[in-house]
Structure formats: structure tokens, C-alpha cells
Amino acid sequence: SLSGKTAVITGSNSGIGLGMAWALARAGADVVLNSFTDDKADHALATEIALETGVAARYIQADMSKGDQCRALIEEAGSCDILVNNAGIQHVAPIPEFPSEKWDAIIAINLTSAFHTTAVALPMMRKAGWGRVINISSAHGLTASPFKAAYIAAKHGIVGLTKTTALETAQEPITANAICPGYVLTPIVEKQIPDTMKEYDMSREDVIEKVMLTRQPSKEFATVEQLGGTATFLCSDAAAQITGTTISVDGGWTAL
Ligand code: NAD
């Protein structure tokens, strides 16, 4: 059981991050949810998790595009035994038309935020004598596709950060790994369907079948519950020697 541990999950008011929060809470960890908004609905998610699982759950607003707010999130959490760097955004456009401000935002949120949170969390893990860093990369952290330059650069980058984190903690009871999901039907994927329809001049059904799941040999979306299970496994004693690596949850995408 993860009872007595605190998990901080960035970008967890929706999708995979929220699924991870539920899974880690069900495994007994106290959880800190986060996003850049500060709505009643955000705090209600934490209340719901606490009521349902019996762990302590809080929502802390912090914008992962800002380094100081990334650091403040971990400081405000007070302890961080499990750090899940999950916040992420996407933008789809060919390189010549790719807006510079989108490039900067994607690199900041999908990559640089993990540097800042890890920098504050590692000393806490060392003090506690145990820790898990789980970075959410992507099948696009290992392979590429057209029109997602910033996202793919950031997701490859976080695999590198994961390896360095693992080497700097290799002789301590701390591990760092990246989970590389294939397509999961969350809001981030929903939002890119219209742009991809435009890029390829295709219907919604064709984008799902011929663009998205064409790379996923299982022909099924992975689920947030499956990703929560992977994160929980990485927190187990069985995974204590798994560090500095990637775990694909992609229906065979990277086997192609
Ligand atoms: P999502 O849009 O549901 O979740 C993204 C989360 O990040 C949300 O909670 C959002 O509020 C948060 N976020 C965005 N900008 C933020 C900011 N500035 N500060 C704090 N939080 C911010 O999408 P998702 O699919 O759940 O994505 C979660 C992670 O999984 C992302 O890193 C994404 O790249 C990765 N991923 C998703 C898929 C997929 O198919 N859905 C595949 C591979 C990897």
C-alpha cells in the first residue's frame, strides 16, 4: 500500500492525470491535484477522491508554464514522495506555420515544468528516504509524426530528463521512469481531431481510424485506468530496480 506517501500529479483535473490520481489514491496515497485554473469543480475533484477512497486529497492551482509556480506547487504540497509530471498541451501545424508562442508554451509545459518540479521534489524524496518520479512522455517521445514538432521535441526531451534523473538517484531508493502512452481518448486528443481533419482533409471517423489508430496495432485506445495501473506498478517494490527507462502503453505502436 502507498499509505503515508504523498503523490503530486501535475495537470490532473482531467484525462490521464486525473486517472493517475484516482489510481494512486485507491492504492492508498494522499494526492495533490493540479491545473492552472482555480474553479470550484477543480477542488470538487479532490473532495470526491477523498470521500471515495479515504485518503487526503487537495487541489493546488499552479501554472506549469511558469517555473516559479512549478516550484511553488511542490513546496506548497509540503511533501512529495511520488511526482507525476503529466501536464501537457498539444498544437498541430506544419513547421513553417508553427506559431513560435505555441512552441514556447509546449516546451515550457510539457518539458521544462518537469525540470522545476523534480528540482524541488528530489530533496524531499531524499529526506523521506524513498521516491518515485514518473514522467508522462508519449509514443511521440520515441517516434515522430508530421505536424507535431514542439510536442515531439518536448516528449523526446522528457525521456532524456528521465534518464538523467535516474542516474542522479541511481544509488538511492528513488526511481525515475517515463510512461509512453499511445492514443488515449482524453480531451487533448479530442481537441486535435478537428485540426487533423483539416490537415489530411478527412472525416472524424477517418482521422480516428486512419491517422490515430493506424499507428496503434491493437486498434484500441489505451485507457486512463490502464495508465493509472502502470503508475501504481512503478510505485511498487516490484519496480524498485526499474529506473531510467520508458514503459510503452501503446497497443504495439512502437513495435511497428
Ligand atoms: P488532457 O488535456 O485531458 O490533460 C492535460 C492536463 O494538463 C489537464 O489537466 C490540463 O488542465 C493540464 N494543463 C494544461 N496546461 C497546464 C498548465 N499550464 N498548467 C497546469 N496544468 C496544465 O490530456 P491527457 O491526454 O490527459 O494528457 C495528459 C498527458 O498525457 C500529457 O502530457 C499528454 O501529452 C500525455 N499523453 C496523452 C496521450 C493521449 O493520447 N491522450 C498520449 C500520450 C501522452
C-alpha cell at 76: 506548497
- Over the stretch 156-179, which tens digit does the pLDDT of each residue have? 999 999 999 999 999 999 999 999
Q: Is the pLDDT of residue 105 over 90?
A: yes
Q: Which domains are seen in the chain, by residue range?
A: 6-183+223-251 (3.40.50.720)
pTM of the full structure: 0.96
Q: Are 175 and 247 in contact (CB under 8 A)?
A: no
pLDDT value, residue 197: 94
Ligand 1 neighbours (beta carbon < 6 A):
11-17, 34-36, 63-65, 86-89, 109-110, 136, 138, 181, 183-184, 186-189
Give the rounded distance of the alpha carbon of 169 from its chain centre: 20
Catalytic status, residue 200:
no
Kindly give the residue spans of alpha helices, DSSP state H, lying in the chain.
15-26, 40-53, 67-77, 100-107, 113-128, 149-168, 187-200, 204-206, 224-234
CA of 10 to the centre of ligand 1 (A): 9
What ipTM goes with this model? 0.99
Q: Is the pLDDT of residue 212 over 90?
A: no
pLDDT tens digits, one per residue of 181-205: 999 999 888 888 998 899 899 999 9
What's the gap in Å between 171 CA and the centre of ligand 1?
Answer: 31
